[in-house]
Structure 1
Amino acid sequence: MNENIEIPLSKNKIILLFVGALIFVILGLWFAIDPENFKVSIFRYRSAELIKIIGIISVAFFGVCSFFIFKKVFDKKPGLIIDKNGITDNSNSTSIGLVKWTDIIGIRVLEVVNQKFVMIDVSNPEHYIELKKNGIGKMAMKANYKKYGSPISITANSLKSDFKEVRAIIEKQYEKNALQHRL
């Protein structure tokens, strides 16, 4: 018998991510408004223009991140649901909902700058990219697919669970359900 596994979103983790993103927005504003104060040895070229550009990019990138993270604070849906149909991901801004077991061809772990992801390899990646209605999320999924071979990645950053547990649950359920769908 298939069990339904739900991993809720961790409001504490999400709030910490939001605060971290806001700090980068504030630092970016400071860089953009007063670049002369940052012409110190940590910047190789010590160019006020370069520092200002870095500040503007920081404000834009982390401002967008802050917006999506803030929306997650009020999200009532579970972060991850694993059931007989597949994996329903609601953990981040590139989440697209249900990924069917019949579409999943592999599960692997990817580590990028000390951040671990469970990569879900699917037989029809373009289909899942097209499911994403948000333009920024769609661009992120396309970039993931181009660089890492799959548009679907799951991290435990916003879940009430750690990465090892999330990985173990997904791998166990994949083995169990993939076998059932092949029979």
Structure 2
Amino acid sequence: MPVVIQRSRLKTSLALAGVVLFLVAGWFLIRSEDPTGVLIGWVGIVVFGLFGVAGVAMILRRGPGLVVDDVGFTDASSVVAMGRVPWSDVVNVWEWKASSTTNIVVTVRDPEAYVARLRGPARWAARANVGMVGSPVALASTGLRISSGDLFELLSSRLSAYQERHPVGPDGDVGGRR
């Protein structure tokens, strides 16, 4: 039976409030007479402006953020969402902690195939994920109505159940994957 996880407009709105604070701070830095402050202010406004646009896009997006079922999951949780990921492509699921945020990394067999699905800034972000964690599929519970611990448990248990039903063959293929 599929597990449907809705997006959290509250969490996304709170993140947008933080973005606004950084934009205001950037504006004040630009108004300073210090050339370093002006440079930092402009960089901050560009970066957090992009985060703001992405946050607004996520608030306006309709439908669930993540659907997990027996054959894989469909990720629509962020602007770097991967779409459908079958369990047969998944090697493992693990937690990656960066600062105060925990992301759930889903290591896939062919990361470049998943990067190729995306365009523009989403592709750049996916490539950065591959460089940092070895996979383009990194899920954050920030925009979802689930905690990162519960998200990790859900994905881990569904992957384990799939692997029990489809054991790895002698050639390393999972469950007859072609």
Residue 155 of structure 2 is aligned to residue 157 of structure 1: no
Query: Which deviates the most, 6-15 or 90-99?
Result: 90-99
Whichever residue aligns with residue 130 of structure 1, its letter is A
Q: Specify the alignment match of 2:110 in structure 1.
A: 124
TM-score, reference length from structure 2:
0.90
Match of 2:32 among 32, 35, 38: 35
The letter of the residue matching 1:107 is: V
State how 1:79-118 maps to structure 2 within 5 Å. 79-118=65-104
1:172 to 157, 161, 164: 157
* SS in structure 2 of the partner of residue 111 of structure 1: strand
Partner of 2:172: none
> Are the counterparts in 2 of residues 101 and 181 from structure 1 also a CA contact under 8 Å?
no
RMSD of aligned alpha carbons: 1.2
Partner of 1:4: 2
Write the distance in 2 (CA, Å) between the matches of 1:147 and 1:161.
24
Shift of 1:84: 2.6
Q: Distance in 1 between matches of 2:80 and 2:165?
A: 28
Deviation string 1:80-117 (CA, Å, 9 cap, x unpaired) is 11013312111112112111111101111110112101
1:55 aligns with 2:41: yes
**SS of equivalent residue, structure 2 residue 163:** helix
Is the Cα contact below 8 Å between 1:109 and 1:118 reproduced in 2? yes
Structure 1: runs of 5 or more not aligned: 37-47
Extract unaligned runs of 5+ from structure 2.
168-174
Which residue of structure 2 aligns with residue 69 of structure 1? 55
- The count of corresponding residues between Structure 1 and Structure 2 is 168
Aligned to 1:157, what secondary structure does the other structure show?
helix
Question: Is the Cα–Cα contact under 8 Å of residues 75 and 82 in structure 2 kept in the other structure?
Answer: yes
Q: How does 1:14-25 map to 2 (within 5 A)?
A: 14-25=12-23
Amino acid at match of 1:21: V
CA contact (8 A) 2:22 2:44 kept: yes
**Would the aligned equivalents of 1:144 and 1:150 in 2 still touch at CA under 8 Å?**
yes
1:62 alignment partner AA:
F
One-letter amino acid matched to 2:127:
K
**What corresponds to 2:132 in structure 1?**
147
Q: Among the aligned pairs, what percent are the same residue?
A: 22
Aligned amino acid, residue 177 of structure 1: Y
Q: Distance in 1 between matches of 2:45 and 2:156?
A: 37
